[in-house]
Amino acid sequence: MGERRLAVHVLDTRIEIVLQGRDTDELFARAEEAWSLALAPNTDVDAVVVADLLPEGGQRHHRAVGWEPKPGKPWAFAEPDAGRLLMLLTQYVTSAAIKEQSGRLLMLHAAGLAHPQTGKASIWVAPGNMGKSTLVRTLGPSFCYLTDETIAIRRDGTIAPYAKPVSTRVHEAAGVKEERAPGPLGLSLADIAARPAGLVFLERDATHEGPAQITELDTLSAIEAAVPESSAFMVTDKPLQWLANILESTGGARRVRYAEASDLLPLAREIMGEAP
Amino acid sequence: MSVQENSGAFSTGQVKLGDIVDVLEREGESLVLANGMIHRLSPPATLILQRANAGWIGVPELVVALVTEFGDPPDGDADALTRDMVDALIEAHLLKSRNLSSST
């Protein structure tokens, strides 16, 4: 039994992760590797997530979806399986960061990649389990990694990265995901600030044949499609006008129907430009 | 004359803009954020909200504004169609209504 701590900087939020329970040294090593692109000093933290690895067979303790801790209290959960704990850790870190940035950042459920030299970013909007991580693993090594989960846009038009572990579904039926370190997947961070250059709604269809089918969306339709995939949209100041400005300054939004993530490479290049 | 504000179905009286958080208009249509929901409005409904933004306004004035902008509706009468739209906008909390009645 012990306790290990690390901190990550995600979505402009510094979050301390406290690992408790059994096998904390091994758990710390796995978490440190998985979050390697987001590690930060353990000072001036905005929120704390406590993950307790229970003895095998222990009674897991997860909060209900939408639960938030009282002000000043940590986000906390307990789980007997280490792999599942790391998956849940990502979800709790995401919730904590989104909570901290509610009203400040425009947040969309999307994957994001950026050109390493221009910072031009492509934003790929989709619900969970609809191809975002696969897209990142496939196209990401040619560009820079922003996120496979939440794109957050600041008022100044730059993107706050969320370089989380890449979630990969390993047990389809159980819905368990493995949290993989971005580095070994060939993913790296951009050295310059990323800015939106194009927004795409993903519509993966395994039966689709031929090149990706692209449909232009007008501003109102794009916002209607984006709102269900947003976080804290309703508590953001003038969110409709903010998102409209982003869309209209980047050539609008598109919906793309495709079968394989590699089919999206031409569109990625069109939005971000050819990577060196 | 007594005035009673309400947010229920509108029969007679006047309407004004509800508690709108954000509005975005493009080519006559609009998206409206209110009461935690996004609504997409047709050009006629958008015009009603524009007119109601200036303060309390009656349905007859809205009918005139709609007919002036869009012409007479091809089927149905403008008055009934306007009342239907106003009722729907009240139900969606995009408009507030008040009934005006004479007291004895």
CATH number of domain containing A136: 3.40.50
Instruction: Identify whether residues A113 and A216 lie together within a single domain.
Output: yes
Among residues A101, A126, A146, the one where a domain terminates is: A101
Q: What is the mean pLDDT of residues B23-39?
A: 94
Closest chain A CA to residue B28: A220
First to last CA, chain B: 8
Q: d(Cα B33, Cα B24) in Å, to the nearest integer?
A: 9
Amino acid at A131: G
Gyration radius (Cα) of chain A, Å: 19
Same domain, A135 and A192: yes
Which residue blocks in chain A are alpha helix, DSSP H? Answer: 24-34, 82-101, 132-139, 219-226, 239-249, 265-272
Report the domain count for chain A: 2
Per-domain boundaries in chain B? 11-101
* Inter-chain touch A220–B36, beta carbons under 8 Å: no
What pLDDT is attached to residue B104?
33
Contact A141, A265 (CB under 8 A): no
Terminal-residue alpha carbon distance, chain A: 48
Beta bridge partners of A202: A256
Q: Token pair 């690390």 is at which residue?
A: A6
Q: Do A240 and B22 touch (CB under 8 A)?
A: yes
Residue A233 structural domain: 106-272
Instruction: Kindly state whether residues A76 and A168 are assigned to the same domain.
Output: no
Residues on A contacting B at a C-beta cutoff of 8 Å: 218-220, 223-224, 227, 234, 238-241, 244
- Assess whether A211 and A123 both reside in one domain: yes
- For residues A115 and A206, state if they share a domain: yes
Q: Is A25 exposed, middle or buried (0-12, 13-18, 19+ CB in 10 A)?
A: exposed
For B32, nearest residue in chain A (alpha carbons): A240
- Residue A11 CB neighbour total at 10 angstroms: 29
A252 and A123 in one domain? yes
CA distance A217 to A214: 10
| Residue among A206, A209, A128, A211 at smallest CA distance from A168 | A128
List pLDDT tens digits, range A133-176. Answer: 999 999 999 999 999 999 999 999 999 999 999 988 776 556 67
- % residues pLDDT > 70 (chain A): 97
Q: b/e per residue, B83-95, with b = 16+ CB within 10 A?
A: bebbbbbbebbbb
Can you give the pLDDT at residue B3? Answer: 47
A40 CA: distance to closest CA in chain B (Å): 36
Residues A152 and A92 in one domain: no
Same domain, A118 and A249: yes
Q: For A64-212, list the strands marked E by DSSP.
A: 75-79, 106-114, 120-125, 144-147, 150-153, 159-160, 166-171, 176-180, 195-204
Please tell me the least confidently modeled range out of A19-23, A34-38, B11-15, B81-85: B11-15
pLDDT over 90 at A111, yes or no: yes
Q: In this model, does residue B74 exceed pLDDT 70? A: yes
DSSP single-letter state for residue A207: T
For A219, which residue in chain B has the nearest alpha carbon? B26
When CB atoms are compared, the residue of A227, A241, A244 closest to B38 is A227
Tokens 């280490």, residue located: A82
Q: Which residues on A lie below 8 Å from B22 (Cβ)?
A: 238-241
Which residues of chain B lie closer than 8 angstroms to A241, CB-CB? 22, 24
**Domain-terminating residue out of A74, A101, A128:** A101
CB burial of residue A105 (10 Å; 0-12, 13-18, 19+): buried
Assess whether A72 and A151 both reside in one domain.
no
Same domain for A84 and A133, yes or no, is: no
pLDDT tier for residue B49 given thresholds of 50, 70 and 90: very high
Question: Judging by DSSP bridges, how do beta strands A159-160 and A144-147 pair with one another?
Answer: unpaired
pLDDT at B10: 54
Whether residue A171 sits in one domain with residue A124: yes
- The whole-angstrom separation of Cα A97 and Cα A232 is 11
B40: nearest CB among A220, A234, A238: A220
Please give the CATH number for the structural domain made up of B11-101: 3.90.930.60
Q: Where does B7-76 show beta strands of DSSP type E? A: 14-17, 20-26, 29-34, 37-41, 57-58
Q: Are strands A195-204 and A253-258 parallel, antiparallel or unpaired?
A: parallel
- At residue B7, the pLDDT reads 47
